[in-house]
Structure formats: C-alpha cells, structure tokens
Amino acid sequence: MLPSYKRLTTALALLFAATTQATVLEIILPDQECGLVMFDVYGDYDWPGVGYGDYYGQLCQNPNAVVSMYASLYTYCKPSELESSIFIMNQWCTDYGEVPLANASLYAANLTKEAIATLPVLNSDDLPEDSNVTYAFLMSQAWFDVARVSEHWYDYEQRIEAYYTFAGFGFWAIILFFGVVQNVIRKTIEARSGYTYADAECAAIRSASNGKSNIVGRGMATLRKYVLTPSSLPPYHQRRFMGCSIPTRAESFVVLSYWIVTIVLSFVNYHGQANNIFWPTNAPQIWKYLADRTGTMAYGNLPLLWIFSGRNNIFLWLTGWSFGTFNIFHRNVARIATIQGIMHSIGYTGYYFSAGYADYYTENFEELWWSLGVAATVVMSFIILFSFSFFRNRFYENFLLIHIVLSVLLLVFLYYHTSIFDLPEYNYPFIITASAIWGFDRLVRLVRQVYNNARIRSGKGFTSTKATVTYHEAANILTIDVVPGNPSLFPGPGQHYYLYQPLRFFGWENHPFTLAHWSQPATPSDDLHLQFWVRPYDGWTKKLVKQCKANGGSTETIAPAMLLEGPYGASEPIHTFDQILLVAGGSGIAGVLPYLLDYVRRVEKGAAAGANGRIPTCTRNVTLVWADRREEYLRFIAEGSLAGLLDRPDINVSFHLTGDAQPSVAAATTPANVSSTASSSTDAVNSPVTPVEGAELGEKTVHQFGTEKCGVLASAAAYKKRATGGFRIQSGRPDVLSTVRKLAQTVQGTNSRLAVMVCGPNDLADNVRHVVAQNMETDRQSIEYFEESFGW
Ligand SMILES: Cc1cc2nc3c(=O)[nH]c(=O)nc-3n(C[C@H](O)[C@H](O)[C@H](O)COP(=O)(O)OP(=O)(O)OC[C@H]3O[C@@H](n4cnc5c(N)ncnc54)[C@H](O)[C@@H]3O)c2cc1C
Ligand SMILES: *[C@@H]1O[C@H](CO)[C@@H](O)[C@H](O)[C@H]1NC(C)=O
Ligand SMILES: *[C@@H]1O[C@H](CO)[C@@H](O)[C@H](O)[C@H]1NC(C)=O
Ligand SMILES: *[C@@H]1O[C@H](CO)[C@@H](O)[C@H](O)[C@H]1NC(C)=O
Ligand SMILES: *[C@@H]1O[C@H](CO)[C@@H](O)[C@H](O)[C@H]1NC(C)=O
Ligand SMILES: *[C@@H]1O[C@H](CO)[C@@H](O)[C@H](O)[C@H]1NC(C)=O
Ligand SMILES: *[C@@H]1O[C@H](CO)[C@@H](O)[C@H](O)[C@H]1NC(C)=O
C-alpha cells in the first residue's frame, strides 16, 4: 500500500490531466465575439475572385471581403476587443480553411478613416443571402447590433455549457476533497495507536474522540449521530423500500445535492432573442441551447460514472469510503446522465421541428453520427432499465454481461457521435477519459491476478493458485481453501477477494467473498492458506455444491482451478475502541470473525512483548453474537476457529439457533431442556440453553478444513470429542438490540468507546444501525457503527 500522500499526489495529477484536457472544449471569450460577427455577416455572401467557392478561402483572403470585415471591425468593435477578435478570426481561418486571415497592413490605404467613410453602408435586406459581392461594404449599425446580440447569446450559451459541465466536476472535487481530508485526519489519529504503549496512546485516541472540551469533537459526534450513521429513512437501509435500498443521510445529502445542482444548471440562463440572425424565433434557439447543454453535461458525467464504478478506484483508497457508497454515486450519476441524454435527443427534435428543418431531421437518420447518437440514448436507457434491482438481484450474471456489453457500445457510439466536430473536443476530455479510467481498472485487475496467482518460488519453481472446495451439507456451507500462487500476500480483516473459476465456460464470472480465515506460513516454504466460507445461492455457488456432490462420498473434495483477485476492502479500525460488539447473521460470521481473531493476535503480540510491551490494541473485551439456522454451522465455527477462545474472560460469544430447528440434544452429555421460542429480534430472549460439555477440555484443536470433505459433517460424537470448551447454543433469535443498548450504557458517561460491527441480513443490520445511532452521544464519539455488507 502506498502512503497516503503518494496516493494523494497521484489523484491530484489525474485530476489536473482531466482539467487541462478540458481546455480542448472550444469556447469563445466575450471579447472575441465581435470578430465572429464579421464571419456571421460577410460569410453569407459569395466573393468572386480570390478564394471564390471556398467558404474560409474567400472570407479570409478575398480583398473585398477582407476590407469589408476590417472596416466593420474598426467601426463597431471596441478597441479593447480588436486584438482578440482578429486572433479568433485568424484561428478559424487557419483551423478550418487552412489559410491565414489576410493582414490588415496589406490594405492600410483602404482602411483609413477617410477610405472607410467612402464605403457603401448596407442593411441586411439590401443584399439577399448568397449573392455575388464584388465590392467592399460596411454593414449598418442596426445590422451589426442584431448580429452582435445573436452572436453573443450563442457564445454565451457555449461558455455556460462548458462551465456548468465543469461545475459538475467541481462538485465532486469538493465532496471527494472533504472525504480525503477526513480520512487523513482519521488515519493520523489512528496511526498513533498500534505501535506504541497502549495505555498512553489509547488515552490519546479517547481524548481525540472526547469532544466535551472541544467544538470540533462535539460537531463530529453530532454529525455522526444524526448524519453519517443513520439511514435517510430508518429503519430502511440495506432492506428495500419499494425496491430501492436507502442511502445513509450523508450519502443522500451528497446525491440529492448533485441532483439539485444538475437540475438547476440544466434549466437556468437561457436567452432567446427574436430576430436573431441565425433563427428568427425564440423556440429553436431555446431548444438548441437546451439540447447542447444537456448533451455536454451528459458527456461530463461519463468519466465520473466510470470512476465511481471501478473496483480499483483511487478515491476508494483516498477517502476510505466503501464501494457501496461509490456505487450509490455511480447509479445516480448514471441516471442523471441518461436523463440528460434523453433531454438532448428531445431538444434536437424540438429544434429541428421548431426551426422548420423537419426534412433535415428525417434525412439525418442516414448519417452515421446522427443515428449513433440516437442509438446511444436508447442504449443508456436500456442500461438503466436492466439495472433495476428486480433484474439485478434475480439475474446478476446476465445483468453484468448486458451492463458491460451495452457500456462498450455506448462509448463507441458516442465516440462516433461527436467525431463530427473538427476538434476532438468531446471525445478527448470525456469519451477517451472514461475509457482510460475503465482500462485502468481492468489493467489493475489483471495485474492483481498475475501477482496473486503466479509466482516463481525458490525451491518450488513455478507455483500457481490451488483451491480446495468442500461442501458441508449439514451446515449448508462451502469452504473454499485457497493457496495463492504468491505466498507473500498480506491477509487482514475486512478484506474481500473475487474468485474466478477460469476453466469453466463462464470463466470470466467472478464473485466477491470475504476473507474469513487464514493461516500465515510459519516458514518460507510453508503455504499461505486463505479461507472463504460461502453460503450457496442459485448461481455459481450452487454449481460448486453440485460439483462437490458429484464427486460423491464423504471423503472426496474438489480441487478446481481457481484464481484470486484482491484484496479489496479495508480493515475497519475497531482495535482503537475499548469494547467491541460483533453481530453476525448467518454467513455474515465470515465478515466479523476475522476481527475477533485479529484482536486475539494483537493481544498475543502484546503479551509476547512483555509486561511493559506495546499492546497493539486498545480493546479490553469482545462480545460476539451470532445466529444461524444450522446448528452444524455454529458448531463448526465454535469448534474450529473459536476453539480455545470461548473460555476467555475477555471474549463473550453467544450462539443462537434460529428458524424451526432446535439445538440438538444428542450432542450434549446431559439431555437438556430446550424451548424454541420464535421470538422477534426485539423481545428479550434468554431461552433455556443447551450446554455442550467438552469431553476433553483444553484439547488444542487447530482450525482444520477439508477434514470433513464433501458431504455431511462428522457425527455428534465427534463434536463432543473435539469440543474444547463448554459453549452453549441458545435457541431463537438473539435480542441484539438490547445487547447494543446494554453495552452502550457501559460506555456512556465514561471515556471509553464501543465499536459495533454487523455483518448479516439486511433487517438485522438496519435495526442495529438504527439503535446504535439512537444510543450515540452528541458530546463525544463514544460509539461507532461499522458494517460489512455482502452486497451493494
Ligand atoms: C464484499 C462482499 C463480500 C461477500 N462475502 C461473502 C462471504 O464471505 N460469504 C458468502 O457466503 N457470501 C459473500 N458474499 C455474497 C456472495 O458474493 C454472493 O452470495 C455470491 O456472489 C452469489 O453467487 P451466485 O452466483 O450463487 O448467486 P445468485 O444466486 O446468482 O445470486 C444471489 C445474490 O448474490 C448477488 N450476487 C451474485 N453475484 C454477485 C457478484 N459478483 N457481486 C455482488 N453480488 C452478487 C445477486 O445480486 C443476488 O442477490 C459477499 C458479497 C460481497 C459484495
Ligand atoms: C483599395 O483602394 C484602392 C485605391 O483607392 C482601390 O483601387 C482598391 O480597389 C481598394 N481595394 C479594395 C479591396 O477595396
Ligand atoms: C500584420 O502585419 C503587422 C506588420 O507588418 C505585423 O506586426 C502583424 O503581426 C501582422 N499580423 C498578422 C495577423 O499576421
Ligand atoms: C455568382 O457568380 C458565379 C460565376 O462567377 C455564377 O456562376 C453564379 O451563378 C453567380 N451567383 C449568383 C447568385 O449570381
Ligand atoms: C469490558 O471492558 C470495559 C472497559 O474496560 C469494562 O468497562 C467492561 O466491564 C468490560 N466488560 C466485560 C464483560 O468484561
Ligand atoms: C455475554 O453477553 C451476553 C449478551 O449477549 C450477556 O447476557 C452476558 O452477561 C455476557 N457475559 C459476560 C461474562 O459478559
Ligand atoms: C425440564 O426442566 C424442568 C424444570 O426445570 C424439570 O422438572 C424437567 O425434569 C426437565 N426435563 C428434562 C427432560 O430434563
């Protein structure tokens, strides 16, 4: 991992590159407008002689045209405008006509005050458009005035288009800047812990979060309680409200602000003008300005929506915000861009019909750039349609494939759509940038894959990733044990990896899984084992189950070719809190258990350093509450990863068996009273429990996977034998909310802090989030909520 400042400079360099490219967007500055008025007026005629028949050829070189233009420039333009007006005229002559503008000094004799006074002065109705003009003439003041105002509003709208498009970038620059700053502050505070004397340093962290004496701390605490933590519509967050997940208030604030900014910028500052020299009525002007502005702003949103969608998004690292947060931004920017694309299409339709160009409108469909623009709007709309959660959740793989194919088409279509401009003014800053961002993400994915999965190791030669998949039928869980080709990865809590099965027909398919457990190699020749615990669903995970079962028996396991891409996600700094409450629902145990084990490792490290040593954690005790429907899964973990930890005074784990199942009595040495209460998560439950007395207490059980291969877990007797400590399984849902309240009370009014982390079903996570927010204090940041989510 790069240090923060290095990442920051990388980000700034990229931002700078994007804005300089933006200068490719052609805008006419106010003091250049007068020069273009000359082109507007004199460009409507033919000038026999030099350059005849070539638009810029005659306008820029024909003596009569040139003298007419300079004469009008000198007569009507402000002296301060002359230089930049001549500059832009010359630039257009060379860019579009490949000839320079004839120098005024060539016609000095014809451009004296006296000579100009002898020129005929014409009105626009004196000379029909496209006539052959064989003399120099001065336009009338009235003609100039109309042309000047027309040119002004045209150029003004173009400037506004560019400014408003970049205002969108500015908006996100500000948001991301705040994100980076808060992340740097937070990291700096946390960096004080971990490597120093726990007591002094933890006290420092406590006082940093203790806002009683300082307004910033109080402000942050209030912000955390009312804005950063709660959902916008509690208790809905992960759980759907009318098919939509509800962002937190902070996310909603950002997204809503962007909608408002965009809507306002799309609708203000339109100026139509009757008797405009380009269009005689207001309607076509407004339609065209609307169409151009929304089109440009839609292009401006493209790089943003690609930045926000990537797995390898530098702002993920810089701000510490979750992929889920950026995903919310991604979706909203995409929706806005699509609406803008549709408005652009409607705008041009309105323009052609209101300007009386209906014939051209239909003819234009024969032009590739036009039809591809229409196609792009349709494609964008379909992308949005196929992204509705209804489709996304049911057919994730198809959604993804369609999403990617349509996105490629979109970029190609838009590239052709705007390649009609002589300057690549839309393609470079927007289309190429968006493609580059995408390419960067894909490239980094590839690099990560090669880095993780292939390695030449001394003594071992070429090593590649090996995987062992085991299905534990009774627990309904797949364990995937991966030995990465590269043994020197740095596993940690909060990480997730994408797993590929490259030799399958859909080999590109990949799924994210949280790193649930790992074993570091003790010697360099040992392997690193990464373990993933996967609850099978309907797609790839179900196929894995099938493959496992097909392999049959209770001793077989499958070893498919597998690739590992990661790690993604960041460890939450919960070791800086005095107390930790971990809440897991079902397979969510994979998300929180690594933090418990991390705590244990940190304490061991501290103990190894001696009494005066540095304990790299501020945590004193950890409570884990876990509910699952399968008793076998509860036992599997209790006797596996948690073996030896359940008796410790600083670790309090409660297991809950939910659903219809009851804790098995067979496993217990003494039959127990079991009453299964199907209670809701809000009523207090301390139902009778089943004690499982470990027959051989203290037996050291190494966490082993693959001992029970495909098939049913070992018998109840085996549990008994391997159990290392008495652990009890309670039946019915845990009363998580009162646990949260109880623990919250223990920190209230003290200076210690509590971290609550949840990984589990939507309802569970949302309820805990809500209660945590309710129990937060406003004068200090005593409790913080963390969420590991298995979806976005
Ligand atoms: C960061 C993260 C960590 C996760 N960690 C774990 C874990 O440790 N253990 C575990 O059991 N599950 C975990 N999941 C969930 C797991 O990724 C899905 O259950 C799995 O992808 C389903 O695969 P499938 O083809 O069988 O699903 P399907 O039956 O096709 O779909 C089931 C659900 O999974 C979602 N889904 C499918 N593929 C993906 C994907 N590639 N990315 C995101 N969502 C997808 C679908 O939207 C759908 O809601 C995690 C998810 C995320 C986002
Ligand atoms: C410039 O002035 C000369 C002399 O008055 C005249 O012959 C010539 O036609 C003029 N040229 C133009 C382009 O008006
Ligand atoms: C025109 O000529 C003058 C003097 O010869 C020179 O200073 C000026 O740069 C020239 N302008 C252009 C646009 O070539
Ligand atoms: C202009 O002049 C050209 C020949 O120089 C002639 O062919 C054309 O018809 C003329 N156009 C008009 C509108 O008079
Ligand atoms: C956990 O630690 C905190 C802080 O040291 C303490 O107040 C609390 O009583 C402890 N709880 C348990 C159950 O040990
Ligand atoms: C362990 O946590 C449960 C709540 O989940 C609580 O009732 C119990 O008192 C705790 N035990 C200890 C020793 O703190
Ligand atoms: C269940 O508990 C009750 C009272 O605690 C006791 O009388 C009864 O014998 C117990 N039943 C069994 C099967 O242990």
Backbone torsions φ then ψ of 232, nearest 5 degrees: -70, -25
- Give the ligand whose atoms come closest to the C-alpha of residue 619: 5
- Give the ligand whose atoms come closest to the C-alpha of residue 581: 6
The tens digit of pLDDT for each residue in 102-143 reads 999 999 999 999 999 999 999 999 999 889 999 999 999 999
Site to probe by mutation for ligand 4, drawn from 52, 132, 133, 135 as the one with most ligand atoms within 8 Å of Cβ, is 132
CA distance 781 to 637: 33
From the CB of 238, is ligand 1 less than 6 Å away? Answer: no
- Cβ atoms of 162 and 27 within 8 Å: the answer is yes
- Give how far Cα 245 sits from Cα of 324, 574, 766, Å: 11, 26, 11
Instruction: Indicate if the pLDDT at residue 696 is higher than 70.
Output: no
The tens digit of pLDDT for each residue in 551-610 reads 876 545 888 899 999 899 988 989 889 999 999 999 999 999 999 999 999 888 877 776
Quick one: pLDDT band at residue 216, thresholds 50, 70, 90?
confident
- Give the ligand whose atoms come closest to the C-alpha of residue 131: 4
- Cβ atoms of 738 and 679 within 8 Å: the answer is no
Distance 562 CA to ligand 1 centre (A): 17
CA distance 51 to 54: 6
Site to probe by mutation for ligand 7, drawn from 673, 674, 690 as the one with most ligand atoms within 8 Å of Cβ, is 673
- Least confident interval from 3-12, 118-127, 354-363: 3-12
The tens digit of pLDDT for each residue in 360-385 reads 999 999 999 999 999 999 999 999 99
> Which residue's alpha carbon is at the smallest distance from atom 14 of ligand 6?
652
Q: How many CB atoms lie within 10 A of CB 743?
A: 20
Q: Walk me through the domains of the chain, giving residue ranges and CATH numbers.
A: 5-151 (no CATH), 459-568 (2.40.30.10), 574-787 (3.40.50.80)
- Least confident interval from 13-27, 608-622, 696-710: 696-710
Distance 690 CA to ligand 7 centre (A): 13
- Tally the residues of the chain: 792
- Cβ atoms of 634 and 655 within 8 Å: the answer is yes
**Tell me, what's the pLDDT at 700?**
27
> Which residue's alpha carbon is at the smallest distance from atom 10 of ligand 7?
673
In DSSP notation, 467-478 reads EEEEEETTTTEE
- Stronger pLDDT, 671 or 764, i.e. the higher one: 764
Instruction: Indicate if the pLDDT at residue 401 is higher than 80.
Output: yes
Q: In one letter, which amino acid is 124?
A: S
Dihedral sign for Cα atoms in the order 452, 455, 460, 464:
positive
Site to probe by mutation for ligand 5, drawn from 581, 615, 618, 621 as the one with most ligand atoms within 8 Å of Cβ, is 621
pLDDT, mean of residues 1-8:
52
Average pLDDT, the chain: 85
From the CB of 671, is ligand 7 less than 6 Å away? Answer: yes
**Tell me, what's the pLDDT at 566?**
85
For the chain, how big is the Rg over CA atoms in Å?
A: 34
**Tell me, what's the pLDDT at 60?**
96
| Residue recorded with tokens 């006509």 | 97
**Tell me, what's the pLDDT at 455?**
86
- Stronger pLDDT, 740 or 685, i.e. the higher one: 740
- Cβ atoms of 45 and 85 within 8 Å: the answer is no
**Tell me, what's the pLDDT at 442?**
97
The tens digit of pLDDT for each residue in 489-503 reads 999 999 999 999 999
Ligand 5 shell residues, CB under 6 Å: 578-579, 620-621, 746, 752
**Tell me, what's the pLDDT at 197?**
53
From the CB of 535, is ligand 1 less than 6 Å away? Answer: yes
**Tell me, what's the pLDDT at 253?**
95
Percent of the chain whose pLDDT exceeds 90: 61
Instruction: Indicate if the pLDDT at residue 706 is higher than 80.
Output: no
CA distance 330 to 336: 10
Distance 695 CA to ligand 7 centre (A): 23
Site to probe by mutation for ligand 5, drawn from 581, 599, 620, 743 as the one with most ligand atoms within 8 Å of Cβ, is 620
**Tell me, what's the pLDDT at 728?**
83
Beta bridge mates, 518: 530
Instruction: Indicate if the pLDDT at residue 738 is higher than 80.
Output: yes
**Tell me, what's the pLDDT at 11?**
54
Kindly report the pTM of this predicted structure: 0.85
Q: Is 619 exposed, middle or buried (0-12, 13-18, 19+ CB in 10 A)?
A: buried
Distance 687 CA to ligand 7 centre (A): 14
Task: Taking each helix axis as running N to C, give the angle between helix 368-386 and helix 323-354, from 0 to 180 degrees, rounded to the nearest 10.
Answer: 140
Ligand 2: atom nearest CA of 107 is 1
Quick one: pLDDT band at residue 692, thresholds 50, 70, 90?
very low
Quick one: pLDDT band at residue 674, thresholds 50, 70, 90?
very low
Beta strands in 522-676 (DSSP E): 529-534, 563-568, 579-585, 621-628, 651-657
Q: In one letter, which amino acid is 160?
A: I
Q: Is 486 exposed, middle or buried (0-12, 13-18, 19+ CB in 10 A)?
A: middle
Instruction: Indicate if the pLDDT at residue 275 is higher than 90.
Output: no
Distance 673 CA to ligand 7 centre (A): 6
Instruction: Indicate if the pLDDT at residue 691 is higher than 50.
Output: no
Site to probe by mutation for ligand 3, drawn from 99, 103, 106 as the one with most ligand atoms within 8 Å of Cβ, is 103
> What contacts 509, CB < 8 A, 6 or more positions away?
397, 500, 501, 540
Beta bridge mates, 482: 467, 530
The tens digit of pLDDT for each residue in 444-467 reads 999 999 999 998 877 778 889 999
From the CB of 583, is ligand 6 less than 6 Å away? Answer: no
Instruction: Indicate if the pLDDT at residue 73 is higher than 90.
Output: yes
From the CB of 517, is ligand 1 less than 6 Å away? Answer: no
Dihedral sign for Cα atoms in the order 209, 211, 215, 219:
positive
Distance 730 CA to ligand 7 centre (A): 17
**Tell me, what's the pLDDT at 205?**
74
Beta strands in 71-136 (DSSP E): 121-122
Instruction: Indicate if the pLDDT at residue 66 is higher than 80.
Output: yes
CA distance 25 to 90: 18
Quick one: pLDDT band at residue 720, thresholds 50, 70, 90?
very low
DSSP 8-state class, residue 107 = G
- Give the ligand whose atoms come closest to the C-alpha of residue 388: 1
**Tell me, what's the pLDDT at 595?**
96
DSSP 8-state class, residue 366 = G
| Residue recorded with tokens 């451009």 | 111
Beta bridge mates, 564: 499
Q: Which of 9-13, 359-363, 426-430 has the highest mean pLDDT?
A: 359-363
- Give the ligand whose atoms come closest to the C-alpha of residue 751: 5
For residue 758, the surrounding DSSP H or E stretch is strand 754-759
Instruction: Indicate if the pLDDT at residue 669 is higher than 50.
Output: no
Quick check: helix, strand or coil at residue 350? helix
Instruction: Indicate if the pLDDT at residue 176 is higher than 80.
Output: yes
Quick one: pLDDT band at residue 146, thresholds 50, 70, 90?
very high
**Tell me, what's the pLDDT at 524?**
75
**Tell me, what's the pLDDT at 714?**
34
From the CB of 90, is ligand 3 less than 6 Å away? Answer: yes
Instruction: Indicate if the pLDDT at residue 667 is higher than 50.
Output: no
Instruction: Indicate if the pLDDT at residue 697 is higher than 50.
Output: no
Instruction: Indicate if the pLDDT at residue 82 is higher than 80.
Output: yes
> Which residue's alpha carbon is at the smallest distance from atom 2 of ligand 6?
652
DSSP 8-state class, residue 712 = P
Percent of the chain whose pLDDT exceeds 70: 85
- Stronger pLDDT, 717 or 198, i.e. the higher one: 198
- Give the ligand whose atoms come closest to the C-alpha of residue 111: 2
